[in-house]
Amino acid sequence: MNTLLSDANPAQEAAVLTRRLAIAGNPNCGKSTLFNALTGMQQKVGNYPGVTVEKKEGTFYGSQGQQMTLLDLPGTYSLQARSPDEAVSRDVLLGRIPGTPCPDTIIAVVDASNLERNLYLVSQILELGIPTVLALNMVDTAEEAGIVIDPEELSQKLGIPVIPLVASKRFGLIPLKQALSRADLPAPKFCAPMPPALAAEAQQIAPFIEAPAQAQFSEAILLLGLSEAALAESRHSSPELRVKIREAQQRLNSAGMDVCSTAVDARYQWISRICAETVRGTPNTGLTLSDRLDMILTHRVWGSLAFLAAMALMFFSIFTIAQVPMDWIRDGLKLFGSWVESQMPDNDFRSLVVDGIIAGVSAVLVFLPQILTLSFFLGILEDSGYMARAAFMMDRLMSRVGLHGKSFIPMLSSFACAIPGVMATRTIEQRKDRLVTILVAPLMSCSARLPVYGLMIAVLLPDTSALQKSGIMLSMYMLGICTAFLMALIFKKTILRSETPILLMEMPPYRLPSARDLLLRMKERAVIFLKRAGTVILALSILLWALITYPKPENPEAKGSEVIAHSVAGQLGHALEPIIRPLGFDWKIGIGLIGSLAAREVFVETMSIVYNVGQDQQGDGVETLQETMRNEKREDGTPVYTPLVCVGLMVFYVLAMQCLSTLAVVRRETNSWRWPAFQFVYLTLLAYVGTFIVYQGGKLLGWQ
């Protein structure tokens, strides 16, 4: 082996020496916190091939300096998967996903305050025969609850290393790295005790299962517990295997045995014995701090008011805290644009750079602080444990539209971006409920709408207070939420009719969010936004500038609207104008609507280019854009951007499906073009009708 390594090149040697680890555990056990504590900034996020489940990988170094690759698996309560999310966790551990090798070692993370429930998944992991280290996380929370666990005794009972941890405080990381660095880390030889009849049937079908030899028995137990429908949908069971499983199920049923409940009961009997021998102390029976907080924050009245107050605070911060860095970015880009303009000769290339690229990209880039502020607040809601309470409270309302609180979590995630919101629906077990949630998730106002809202509010009310601005923005978010609920009700009563599911959800204890995790979340969001600004928005800026600039009018003295009207974009805008005129929009707004089909925030970029191309001087960024739009007149001398038009534009972007990336994810999630096409059509019609009602209804009431 040493000779082979010495002959290999450095890249091959590194590939051989790098160990692959997977981190697995129940939801809310601190799995992601531990992942962040180990990997820090060395992370990358992608997707597993063939599915939209997020693949999060990172690297760290063991106690002896060896590099390790860590894969953060989706949270799951069992390897008997009930959702696409859980199926990925199972398939990774069984080595079934192309391009993702079976891990060399598993870090099984458990919540020390809920040891009995967490050990159910651990018992299934141990049966895979892969070297495993048990990370006994949140021991401080367990001790506060009066629960003391003997890690050495637990290690002897399970036959694997057990490391006490408080991942949020980075306590126990060194012993964990030492355990993971062991070259002699043994593979567990464990099998949960099953009734003889069930064990015998599992042994008979195990050789026919495509899985590592040490995992075949465990997989056989899982397959024997599947229903007829679930077994038919199983991708990794051959027709021959399904026949043998049905025959085994019939024999067990004839003997009066419910396979699924029998296997579960057998595991929990073993777990109860383990806990009785390793858990010390008497659990506190009094009200905990989480219980006291829940009496207020999940109350039917006070909880709803607290949720609205949290949302209002978030939007108020967007217009106050974020304003200072926005001014810095705006001033910096203004100076940069002026300097570039002064250094270049007056020609089309300068116009492309200054009026197209700089004006277009900077018009969007200036809103980065607002997007990061939104990401920060959503991170606090999630990491503190409040997100689960929000889902619980919303379950009362969601049940009235045929869904349950689990659907609200993807919808709430869509406030940051609809893409992770759509991906988060994989935790929903029922397919029709998952589809309904996917169809309505884009109605939740994502961060890409912030530039549009911010621009239109500034045009509508330039001198108003931050409190009034946050109130207007909150109303846009509430419009999206209410419309999403209405459309979900319609879909559940018509094309996706099904029974209202029952919500079964664990309430994690309240925790103080980790500043490190919040910064990592904001860093990921910033990188995504900047990549988008540097690729998609940059490319669109160049394309839009070309469409708005060419062909040029024959009159070389033409300026402003005359230049744009003669261009390809101007002709498209004029062609669209008869359709959007009932909404109060002119042909220049039509150019913005066309440009923002790819991404909503491109509307701001497009309008910046529209109002800069053909002018004598470069605009001064978003501030000048606002002033230009306020002063824009129609041919009859009336203002273009009246209050009704500004509100109508915001309503249009609340409801419209202006994001090709989201449509692509919906296509992959549903494995069909049918649903994204339907989603685009119904949301576009919804946006048109909603904006029509706002504009024409307002005119009937005498508003402008």
pLDDT, tens digit, 9 for 90 and up, residues 88-134:
888 888 888 888 888 999 999 999 988 998 999 999 999 888 999 99
pLDDT the model gives residue 19: 87
| pLDDT digit string, tens, across residues 643-667 | 999 999 999 999 999 887 788 878 8
**Residue 275: partners with Cβ closer than 8 Å, 6 or more residues away:** 115, 116, 119
Q: Which tokens belong to 567?
A: 């261009």
CB 452 within 8 A of CB 600: yes
Q: What is the signed CA dihedral for 156, 67, 526, 89, rounded to 10 degrees?
A: -40
Alpha-carbon distance 102 to 20, whole Å? 8
Q: ∠ CA(323), CA(328), CA(330), 5° rounding? A: 90
360 contacts 625 by C-beta, under 8 angstroms: no
Q: How many CB atoms lie within 10 A of CB 78?
A: 18
Confidence band for 300, pLDDT divided at 50, 70 and 90: confident
pLDDT value at residue 416: 67
Q: For residue 236, name the pLDDT band (cuts at 50, 70, 90).
A: low
Cβ–Cβ < 8 Å for 652, 692? no
Structure confidence by residue, pLDDT tens digits, 68-79: 999 999 888 888
DSSP, collapsed to helix, strand or coil, labels residue 148 as: strand
- The per-residue pLDDT for 36 is 87
Is the separation of the CB atoms in 298 and 338 below 8 Å?
Answer: no
Looking at per-residue pLDDT, the higher value among 16 and 641 belongs to 641
When comparing pLDDT for 598 and 66, which is higher? 66
Burial class of residue 553 in the structure, from the number of CB atoms within 10 Å of its CB (0-12 exposed, 13-18 middle, 19+ buried): middle
CA distance 60 to 42: 8
Higher pLDDT, 182 or 394: 182
Find the helix packing angle between 368-383 and 515-534, rounded to 10°: 140
pLDDT at position 69 is: 92
Cis ω before 551 (30° cut-off from 0): yes
Output the pLDDT for position 213: 75
Query: How far apart (Å, rounded) are the C-alpha atoms in residues 291 and 218?
Result: 38
| % of the chain with per-residue pLDDT over 70 | 88
**Of 411 and 657, the one with more pLDDT:** 657
Q: Is the pLDDT of residue 177 over 90?
A: yes
Tens digit of each residue's pLDDT (9 = 90 or more) over 503-538: 566 677 788 888 888 888 788 778 877 776 677 777
Q: What is the DSSP letter of 358?
A: I
233 pLDDT band (50/70/90 cuts)?
A: low
Task: Examine the pLDDT at 41 and tell me if it is beyond 80.
Answer: no
Residue 51 is predicted with a pLDDT of 46
Mean pLDDT of 357-371: 76
For the record, the structure tokens of 631 come out as: 């002063």
Lowest-pLDDT range of 73-77, 149-153, 157-161: 73-77
Average of pLDDT values for 31-42? 83
State how far the Cα of 30 lies from the Cα of 34, in Å rounded to an integer: 6
Q: Which of 45-59, 167-181, 408-422, 538-552 has the lowest mean pLDDT?
A: 45-59
Task: Name the one residue in this structure whose structure tokens are 């928005």.
Answer: 537
Sign, Cα dihedral of 545, 550, 555, 561: negative
* Residue 623 pLDDT > 70: no
Are the beta carbons of 316 and 467 closer than 8 angstroms? yes
369 with 329: CB under 8 angstroms?
A: yes
Is the pLDDT reported for residue 10 higher than 60?
A: no
Q: What does pLDDT average to over the chain?
A: 82
Q: What are the C-alpha distances in Å from 217 to residues 240, 468, 488, 538?
A: 17, 63, 42, 54
Task: Give yes or no for a contact between 133 and 172, defined as CB atoms under 8 angstroms apart.
Answer: no
Compute the distance between CA of residue 75 and CA of residue 55 in angstroms, rounded to an integer.
Answer: 12
Given this model, what pLDDT does residue 670 score?
86
Domains of the chain: 2-180 (3.40.50.300), 196-258 (no CATH), 517-700 (no CATH)
Q: Which tens digits make up the pLDDT trace of 676-696?
A: 999 999 999 999 999 999 999
Separation in Å, CA 476 to CA 116, 231, 315, 440, 600: 45, 45, 11, 15, 15
